[in-house]
Amino acid sequence: MTDSVLRPGRLFIGGTWREAESGQRFSVTDPADGSTLTDVADADPGDALDALDAAVAAQAGWAATPARERGEILRRAFELIMSQADDYARLISLEMGKTLAEAKGEVTYGAEFFRWFSEEAVRIHGRWMQNPAGGTRLLTVKKPVGPCLFITPWNFPLAMGTRKIGPAVAAGCTMVVKPAEATPLTMLRLAETLAEAGLPDGVLNVVTTSSSPAVCSALMADDRLRKLSFTGSTSVGKILVKQSADELQRISMELGGNAPFLVFEDADVDAAVDGAMIAKMRNMGEACTAANRFLVHESVADAFAERLGARMGKLATGRGQEEGVDVGPLIDANAVESVHQLVTDAVHDGATLVVGGTVPDGPGTFYSPTVLLGVPADAQINREEIFGPVAPITTFATEDEAIERANATEYGLASYAYTNDLGRTIRLAERLEYGMVGINTGLISNAAAPFGGVKASGFGREGGFEGIEEYLDTTYVSIPGA
């Protein structure tokens, strides 16, 4: 398939586009039919260390660049992305599979991190205070942590990058970005946009590779790298946390989720179904924030299941770039297989299929939108991140039971609840062991808010005032009093 946004990719190192030293390349595949879209340079550890050399060489100059200038580059990049929103959306849709409408949503969301952090760049400051014991004065100075490594997943090829690049650029850090093997094209285009916006050579370097473990290990073993920010699965996150021990890099971990979606007896059921459609079907369910377990009060469970099933059953599955399509393909055949296995096991364990549960005939890696009712609480589908368009519903009788079940998971990223009771809202906010709680909404991602998790969902926050702190070190200076 030819499309003007598709171009063969090269590495972006020190402001120069170049092939991998080995000359190797790897293909990028269209998940809608398995065909090859284009190919990109396949970096090895030597190329990655060249990228780190460039980031290290640019670090001092970038840290000394006035904050206003750093912010204005981000602001220009925001404007450029928005002016090219259709092209960005098309590229995201082609390499990742999501519909054009969803891809445009990602462009707006992803670009917003540049606008937000363009405004935060000029608000970095320390403090001045008297020593409580008298005498000296205490001064704090914020400094960029230094060269960073960003490892990003395939599910939001733009936004998972801008969420890290925005605050790092604002804070005065340089970086090497290693996008997911399945979706490297959007990040290469973003490097072009940032260069056009005036980002100096070497501040951002992009290394595409089919050998992520070897490439990232080489970078992590280098003591010039000062920070890792990773978004991806908990299993890979644990490997990287261990690797960071040798050089004691600072780390931020945005890992997997198992979001509960609670519907209480006092909720507006139609509003809850609207919210469920967003929380479940955004990105075909391939989101760390995706509602994974629907915990519905027994008095409204049948009505909720019936209405959700009716809405899910009407969704049209197909190629993301086609008119009228609501649900694109999953990322690959393994994803379809694991989603189908979870559904099959849940039915075997006693769940009822309200709608879906089928693998449409190929080509492409599609899965039909699915609703399951009466899923046993301990079913595998309630314990694992589904990462597909499947809504398993279980019922509860009391608020305590709902909260206990919601918390009964190793994960703690996003959670959702529908209720019209203010007291209950406060209890949920305080008792849900999650980094994020959405009340009467199915969409919580927002560049102005601190995004992140607890427990096996990781640590660190992206976005909000908190997001830039991940890229700043604090030096305390003791000054003699007058």
Residues between 162 and 191 with contacts to ligand NAD, criterion CB under 6 A? 178, 180-181
Nearest distance in Å: CB 357, ligand NAD: 23
Of the candidates 236, 230, 124, the one whose C-alpha atom is nearest the C-alpha of residue 176 is 230
- Taking the C-alpha atoms of residue 409 and residue 1, their distance in angstroms, rounded to an integer, is 43
Nearest distance in Å: CB 309, ligand NAD: 25
- Taking the C-alpha atoms of residue 130 and residue 479, their distance in angstroms, rounded to an integer, is 10
Residue 152 sits in the site that holds ligand NAD (CB under 6 A): yes
Phi, psi of 466, rounded to the nearest 5 degrees: -65, -30
Nearest distance in Å: CB 186, ligand NAD: 13
With the C-alpha atoms ordered 341, 346, 352, 355, is the resulting torsion angle positive or negative? negative
Give the nearer residue to ligand NAD in terms of CB position, either 62 or 113. 113
Give the nearer residue to ligand NAD in terms of CB position, either 153 or 357. 153
- Taking the C-alpha atoms of residue 109 and residue 87, their distance in angstroms, rounded to an integer, is 15
- Tokens, residue 20: 């991998």
Other Cβ atoms closer than 10 A to 471: 29
Rg of the chain over Cα atoms, rounded to whole angstroms, equals 23
Q: Which stretch binds ligand NAD (CB under 6 A): 43-51, 227-235, 297-305, 463-471?
A: 227-235
Contact (Cβ atoms closer than 8 angstroms) between residue 55 and residue 40: no
Q: What is residue 280's DSSP assignment?
A: H
Nearest distance in Å: CB 401, ligand NAD: 26
Residues between 368 and 387 with contacts to ligand NAD, criterion CB under 6 A? 385
Q: Which of 9, 71, 257, 309 binds ligand NAD (CB under 6 A)?
A: 257
Residue 255 sits in the site that holds ligand NAD (CB under 6 A): yes
Site mask for ligand NAD (CB under 6 A), range 385-424, x = bound: x---------------------------x-----------
Using DSSP's 3-state secondary structure scheme, residue 304 falls into helix
Contact (Cβ atoms closer than 8 angstroms) between residue 113 and residue 166: yes
Site mask for ligand NAD (CB under 6 A), range 439-468, x = bound: --------------x---------------
Q: What is residue 122's DSSP assignment?
A: G
- Tokens, residue 118: 């363009």
- Taking the C-alpha atoms of residue 481 and residue 138, their distance in angstroms, rounded to an integer, is 9
Place of tokens 């990655």: 48
Q: Which of 146, 161, 232, 260 binds ligand NAD (CB under 6 A)?
A: 232
Give the nearer residue to ligand NAD in terms of CB position, either 155 or 317. 155
What ranges in 131-233 are assigned the alpha helix state H?
Answer: 159-171, 185-196, 212-220
Buried b (16+ CB within 10 A) or exposed e, 202-211: bbbbbbbbbb
Nearest distance in Å: CB 180, ligand NAD: 4
Q: Tell me which H or E stretch contains 74.
A: helix 67-83
Nearest distance in Å: CB 187, ligand NAD: 10
Residue facing ligand NAD at closest CB distance = 232
State the number of binding residues for ligand NAD (CB under 6 A): 26
Give the nearer residue to ligand NAD in terms of CB position, either 160 or 267. 160
Give the nearer residue to ligand NAD in terms of CB position, either 84 or 212. 212
Given the residues 254, 286, 399, 462, the one annotated as active site: 254
- Taking the C-alpha atoms of residue 37 and residue 33, their distance in angstroms, rounded to an integer, is 10
Beta strands in 234-381 (DSSP E): 250-254, 259-263, 291-297, 352-355, 370-373
Residue 216 sits in the site that holds ligand NAD (CB under 6 A): yes
Nearest distance in Å: CB 360, ligand NAD: 22
Nearest distance in Å: CB 239, ligand NAD: 5
Answer yes or no: 410 catalytic: no
Give the nearer residue to ligand NAD in terms of CB position, either 328 or 453. 453
Residue 231 sits in the site that holds ligand NAD (CB under 6 A): yes
Q: Which residues are catalytic, by number?
A: 254
Q: Which residues bind ligand NAD (CB under 6 A)?
A: 151-155, 160, 178, 180-181, 212-213, 216, 231-233, 236, 239-240, 254-257, 288, 385, 413, 453
